[in-house]
Amino acid sequence: MKPYISVTVFSQRETVKGHFLIVMKVPASFRESLPGQFVMVRMKSCDQPFLSRPFSIYSVYSHGKDTFMEILYKVVGKGTEAFSRLREGDILNILGPLGKGFDIPSKCDKIVLIAGGVGIAPLSFLAERCEKDTDGAEIICYIGAGSLETIVGMDRMNGICSVVEISTDDGSWGHAGTVTELFRRDVELYEDNDSRIYSCGPNPMLGSLNELLKDRPVTCQVSLEERMACGIGACLGCVVKTKSGSLVRVCKEGPVFDINSVEFSEHNG
Amino acid sequence: MKLKIGVDIGGLALKNPVMTASGTFGYGEEYSDYLDLNRLGAIIVKGLSLKSREGNPPPRIVETASGMLNAVGLQNVGVRTFIDEKLPWLRSIDSAVVANIFGETIEDYANVAEILNDAEGVDAVEVNISCPNVKRGGIAFGSDPVLAGEVTRVVKDVSHLPVIVKLTPNVTDITEIARATEAAGADALSLINTITGMSVDIEKRVPHLENVTGGLSGPAIKPVALRMVWEVVNAVSIPVIGVGGIMNARDALEFLIVGAKAVQVGTANFINPGIATDIIDDIRKYMLEKGINDINDLIGTLEV
């Protein structure tokens, strides 16, 4: 049986405006977490917010005997606001790891990561694993943010990737515009079977990336975000439509999907 | 001391009074990693219709104060696919299986109930009458005593199984509907279904749910559910199953004391997928503490 477990907050800090990095001490079994998988999180001490919140895993690592899990998140509402007030020693209830992660190639020339905002979180975890597990891969990252103050997760990517390209909506840093536009400039470089593209970000961004990549041979996986009540496939709150018209649950069949398999709706952009 | 916690619900024998509510427990298998399904009184599966249904477009859920609104829209695989693909697995579980059914016309209900007659491993039928009747201007079957009685009678006529009718709280007087369904032959009643509600995004000035309105569930509705169960228990003589906002054994015990012969745990399964068996354990603890040997000695003992 895999119930919710109580974990202790090891540390928390605001990394850039409105974005928090929380580190939890977790059981050693969490070392089996795969990039792209998520956890359901809620307060231990009170029943508000009522529902657990799903978060992509940002990293899992061991230090001595202890195992730590990191979550990188943006404050967007009541739940994330409450989490942002947590301090060292506070207790959370978590369930996971859940869902299907990214496919990690054992051998590959170029791994391209395209992140929109806090969508960097699962991609950063993926980059860490590819650095270890994928033979001979050059890892390249494109990061999109609203402005200079909200570029999140860049430092870690700088340590792993050969190239980190930045775009900001307001042009305060890097390319002025969207990250998909920035990537469009380079797309021809990755059009072969030895490149893999991975992306996570708001749905309109993934939709425009899908548009850009359609009819190209390159493999691209995306991680989707949806509201969830249970995280285990029962509430049917997180369903999305596939291109063939059927419904899939982001929590169970995803959150990682082939970019060509799902429709990108606008509602949660 | 050997505790007796089995109950009989209109011909459906349950090993204990804790069932999992339709729409919150998938087809059972979803929860097999999180609790021992064999320990449940009954598993009530996701509502089944004659044909598969896609449900409503997202967003389908939103959190509210002490609860949630959902407008999933009765997405399901359809009764035949349920029998072919979901039921075989459920047969390996030693708990009662209740098929929740719904339709858009009276004939739909009859057809689904008839198909389930031959399905080995289904122990009872629960009829969701909260759906709109497409042939009569969309009025919900469950909000009209005549329609509610008609649906009940049609299902009773064709079904070989115990028939539980699930009542909607979105009515002026739930006892009127309860009496009508009892008169039409219902073996038991379950209540309440969700309470219709809505929630608005003040930044975009749009409803949080694509469907605009949705069904409210969770602890927010428990006092309403308890009051309605109390009213219905006093209005009918068939067994009543209490549903609505049960989060722990204390909540479940309130329903039993008021007179429900069993309870359904719903939204709480989303919050803690192992909660249903925890509730069974804690009901046992309560009985030991209070020296109650048989759960039936507790049911309906409210003093007013």
Residues B130-150 have a mean pLDDT of 86
Compute the mean pLDDT over every residue in chain B, rounded to the nearest whole number. Answer: 96
Of B62, B75, B272, the CB nearest to A236: B75
B75 contacts on A by Cβ (under 8 Å): 236, 239, 247
Determine how β-strand B12-14 pairs with β-strand B7-9: antiparallel
Question: Given this model, what pLDDT does residue A193 score?
Answer: 80
Of A4, A49, A226, the CB nearest to B272: A4
The CATH class of A5-98 is mainly beta
CA nearest to A241, candidates A214, A225, A261: A261
CA nearest to B19, candidates B299, B291, B262: B262
Of A238-252, B130-144, B170-184, B224-238, the least confident: B130-144
| pLDDT, greater one: A192 or B266 | B266
Task: For chain A, give the longest Cα–Cα distance.
Answer: 52
CA nearest to B213, candidates B51, B48, B72: B72
* Among the four given CATH numbers 1.20.1260.10, 3.10.290.10, 3.40.50.300, 3.40.50.80, the one describing domain A110-224: 3.40.50.80
Compute the mean pLDDT over every residue in chain A, rounded to the nearest whole number. Answer: 94
CB contact under 8 A, A230 and B34: no
On whether residue B211 sits in a domain, the answer given is no
Question: Given this model, what pLDDT does residue A46 score?
Answer: 76
User: Is the separation of the CB atoms in A9 and A85 below 8 Å?
Assistant: no
B49 to A135, A156, B52, B106, B151: CA distances (angstroms) = 51, 51, 7, 12, 14
Dihedral pair phi/psi, residue B258, rounded to 5°: -65, -25
Q: Tell me the three state secondary structure of residue B7.
A: strand
Is the pLDDT assigned to residue A245 strictly greater than 90?
A: no
Q: What is the pLDDT of residues B37-89, one digit of tens each?
A: 999 999 999 999 999 999 999 999 999 999 999 999 999 999 999 999 999 99
A264 DSSP 8-state letter? -
B226 to A241, B17, B126: CA distances (angstroms) = 38, 16, 20
CA nearest to B35, candidates B22, B23, B26, B46: B26
Residue A163 distance to chain B (closest CA, Å): 37
Of B58, B67, B247, the CB nearest to A239: B58
Where residue A152 falls among pLDDT bands split at 50, 70, 90? very high
Residue B212 distance to chain A (closest CA, Å): 14
Q: What is the pLDDT of residues A208-235, one digit of tens each?
A: 999 999 888 899 999 999 999 999 999 9
CATH 2.40.30.10 residue ranges of chain A are 5-98
Query: Could you tell me the two tokens for B181?
Result: 């369904």
Determine how β-strand A247-249 pairs with β-strand A239-241: antiparallel
User: Is the separation of the CB atoms in A167 and A179 below 8 Å?
Assistant: yes
What count of other Cβ atoms lies within 10 Å of the Cβ of residue A46?
Answer: 8
Rounded distance between C-alpha atoms, residue B274 and residue B272, angstroms = 5
Where residue A45 falls among pLDDT bands split at 50, 70, 90? confident
Buried b (16+ CB within 10 A) or exposed e, B198-222: bbeeeeeeebbbbbeebbbbbbbbb
β-pair partners for A21: A13, A72
Q: Which domain holds residue B190?
A: 7-56+74-197+217-297
Q: What is the pLDDT of residues B285-295, one digit of tens each?
A: 999 999 999 99
On whether residue B293 sits in a domain, the answer given is yes
Residue B67 distance to chain A (closest CA, Å): 6
User: Is the separation of the CB atoms in A260 and A243 below 8 Å?
Assistant: yes
Alpha helices in A51-201 (DSSP H): 78-84, 120-133, 154-160, 179-184
Question: Given this model, what pLDDT does residue A268 score?
Answer: 43
On whether residue B148 sits in a domain, the answer given is yes
Q: What is the pLDDT of residues A23-34, one digit of tens each?
A: 999 999 999 999
Amino acid found at B270:
F
CB contact under 8 A, A240 and B34: no
Rounded distance between C-alpha atoms, residue A217 and residue A221, angstroms = 13
Domain count along chain B: 1
β-pair partners for B64: B67
Is the pLDDT assigned to residue A269 strictly greater than 90?
A: no
Q: Which of B5, B62, B71, B131 is catalytic?
A: B131
Determine how β-strand A59-63 pairs with β-strand A66-74: antiparallel
β-pair partners for A198: A113, A221
Residues present in chain B in total: 304
Q: What is the ipTM for the molecules in this complex? A: 0.94
CB contact under 8 A, B60 and A47: no
| Proportion of chain A above pLDDT 70, given as a percent | 98
Where residue A267 falls among pLDDT bands split at 50, 70, 90? low
**DSSP letters of B149-184?**
HHHHHHHHHH-SS-EEEEPPS-SS-HHHHHHHHHHT
A239 contacts on B by Cβ (under 8 Å): 55, 58, 60, 75
- Residue B43: CATH number of its domain: 3.20.20.70
**Helix, strand, coil share (%) of chain A residues, nearest 5:** 20, 40, 40
Chain A residue closest to B62 (CA)? A227
Strand segments, DSSP code E, in A33-77 are 38-43, 53-56, 59-63, 66-74
B271 contacts on A by Cβ (under 8 Å): 42, 50-52
Residues A75-81 have a mean pLDDT of 94
Tell me whether residue B196 is one of the annotated catalytic residues: no
Of B61, B65, B273, the CB nearest to A232: B273
Amino acid found at B16:
N
Rounded distance between C-alpha atoms, residue B183 and residue A137, angstroms = 73
Is the pLDDT assigned to residue A194 strictly greater than 90?
A: no
On whether residue B268 sits in a domain, the answer given is yes
User: Is the separation of the CB atoms in A253 and A242 below 8 Å?
Assistant: no
Residue A49: is the preceding peptide bond cis (ω within 30°)?
yes
Q: What is the pLDDT of residues B55-64, one digit of tens each?
A: 999 999 999 9
Q: List residues of A whose CB lies inside 8 A of any B CB.
A: 1-4, 42, 47-52, 78-79, 95, 226-230, 232-240, 247, 265, 267-268
Provide the number of CB pairs (under 8 Å) joining chain A to chain B: 98
CATH 3.40.50.80 residue ranges of chain A are 110-224
B96 to A52, A90, B124: CA distances (angstroms) = 29, 41, 8
User: Is the separation of the CB atoms in A94 and A54 below 8 Å?
Assistant: no
CB contact under 8 A, A2 and B36: no
Residues B210-223 have a mean pLDDT of 96
Chain B residue closest to A48 (CA)? B66
